[in-house]
Amino acid sequence: MDRVTEFLESEFPDAEERALLLGIVASPTDKTAKLVYADWLDDRSDPRAEYVRLLVARGRRKPLVRMNELRKACSGPWLSMMGELQRDFATIAKKVETRPDLERGWRETLWTTFDRGLWQFQYKGNLWLEEHGLSPVLDFICDPKIAAVLWTLDLDAYDDHPQTNGTLHLSLVPLTTGKVSFPYLDRVSIEQSQNTVLGKGGYHEDGETARLLALCPRLRQLTGPSAPNAKLFTGPKHPLEALNIHAGYDTEDFVKNLAKSERFPRLRTLRYKDFCCEYMDPQPQMFTSFKDWKTLFRSPWFAKLEEVELSGVLLTEDEVKALLKIRSQGVTITRSPSARTG
């Protein structure tokens, strides 16, 4: 089932109401469609009928005050179907795009796409948690009514990567505090670069990937900028289908932990870049050993993967051949320029 259909059938199980709401989505300026829906709600003694009627009569000061009172009791999915979140998304987009990074001269951009109640959300700009950066964006999507209708989330740095001269500690707080969940989030993609570490500081991912995943029960695709630590592999089974990880400064034993984990029974696509710091001498924690790669290739669930793309591996040509003897179909391995040749 596609995510939009899943959303509609889960949030609006009554087929008749679903049809009425879809009619409103298709013709948002049609007052008649809204009034027919208001009658339908009245027939069921649903207090939302008053909100719909005030929505049609919007413009007078008194109804707006009452609407704000009624809105508090309305769910995010319902408000989204009624077209009542468009203004919220437009406001954050305007706020982002009219606040230039005065220190560097760059501008942030925000793209949003609406489809039958769910929203795709892509931010490009300053990934630091600061006033002219990611903080206001995360605060916005952590509003419970917004979190309930997010479909995809993409966080990208400026095109010219202003953080290339240092490590970017990309913290997702307040996203991962657990105060809100993201029930329909299908994809999270966080820009990958050789100097980005997910977490508050240091060179180690501090469990933010695991905390994020715990709040996204239907997430199917995850792209992360640094290897998640062992916490990602503990907890109940999760429906993740595609995992794309850029190891960063420390592998966090990602491959070893993945090999023995049974948390992701639906995982079918794995993309993983191992050693990526060519400007640094490789340290043991920066790359995966041949022993751990063999363990992964021989793990029972590895055969279920349909597509495997491994890059930056610090293996000899003979070691790569040995892995491909275990399994070669659907597997691509690219050695790091720093890999041994013997």
Residues 31 and 114 in one domain: no
Contact 132, 95 (CB under 8 A): no
**Per-residue pLDDT averaged across 230-245, rounded?**
96
Global confidence as pTM? 0.92
Residues 49 and 111 in one domain: no
Residues 41 and 138 in one domain: no
Lowest mean pLDDT among 125-129, 200-204, 294-298: 200-204
Residues 62 and 123 in one domain: no
Residues 259 and 309 in one domain: yes
* Residue 147 in domain: yes
* Residue 342 in domain: no
Please report, in angstroms and rounded to a whole number, the separation of the first and last CA atoms in the chain: 49
Residues 65 and 162 in one domain: no
Which of the listed residues 31, 54, 75 is the one where a domain comes to its end?
75
* Residue 80 in domain: no
State pLDDT tens for residues 266-316: 999 999 999 766 656 667 677 899 999 999 999 988 999 999 999 999 999
Q: What integer pLDDT is reported at residue 163 of this predicted model?
A: 47
* Residue 81 in domain: no
Task: Assign 58 a pLDDT band (cuts: 50, 70, 90).
Answer: confident
**Per-residue pLDDT averaged across 1-15, rounded?**
95
Which of the listed residues 75, 108, 127 is the one where a domain comes to its end?
75
* Residue 101 in domain: yes
**Per-residue pLDDT averaged across 321-340, rounded?**
91
User: Is pLDDT larger for residue 337 or for residue 131?
Assistant: 337
Q: What integer pLDDT is reported at residue 313 of this predicted model?
A: 93
SS3 (DSSP) at 199 = coil
What angle, 0 to 180 degrees and rounded to 10, lies between the N-to-C axes of helices 48-56 and 31-43? 160
Top-ranked range on mean pLDDT: pick from 75-84, 167-176, 226-235 = 75-84
**Quick count: other Cβ atoms within 10 Å of Cβ 327?**
14
CA distance 232 to 263: 9
Domain containing residue 287: CATH number: 3.80.10
Residues 186 and 249 in one domain: yes
* Residue 62 in domain: yes
pLDDT at 52 over 50: yes
Q: How far is CA 14 from CA 8, 18, 21, 36, 52, in A?
A: 10, 6, 11, 16, 18
Q: What percent of the chain has pLDDT over 70?
A: 89
Task: Assign 34 a pLDDT band (cuts: 50, 70, 90).
Answer: very high
State pLDDT tens for residues 242-265: 999 998 788 999 999 999 999 999
* Residue 340 in domain: no
Length of the chain: 342
Please state the φ and ψ torsions of residue 254, each to the nearest 5 degrees.
-55, -50
Locus of tokens 């043991």: 284
Residues 69 and 111 in one domain: no
Which of the listed residues 42, 75, 108 is the one where a domain comes to its end?
75
Residues 69 and 90 in one domain: no
Domain membership of residue 44 as a residue range:
3-75
Q: What integer pLDDT is reported at residue 162 of this predicted model?
A: 47
Task: Assign 106 a pLDDT band (cuts: 50, 70, 90).
Answer: low
Number of domains in the chain: 2
Residues 303 and 169 in one domain: yes
6 torsion bin: left (phi>0), alpha (psi -120 to 50), beta (else): alpha
Residues 190 and 141 in one domain: yes
Task: Assign 337 a pLDDT band (cuts: 50, 70, 90).
Answer: confident
pLDDT at 342 over 70: no
* Residue 200 in domain: yes
Question: What is the residue-averaged pLDDT of the chain?
Answer: 89
State pLDDT tens for residues 141-183: 999 999 999 999 999 987 655 444 567 788 888 888 888 999 9
Alpha helices in the chain (DSSP H): 3-11, 15-26, 31-43, 48-56, 61-71, 76-81, 86-97, 134-141, 144-147, 208-214, 254-260, 290-298, 317-326
Q: What integer pLDDT is reported at residue 282 of this predicted model?
A: 65
Residues 40 and 151 in one domain: no
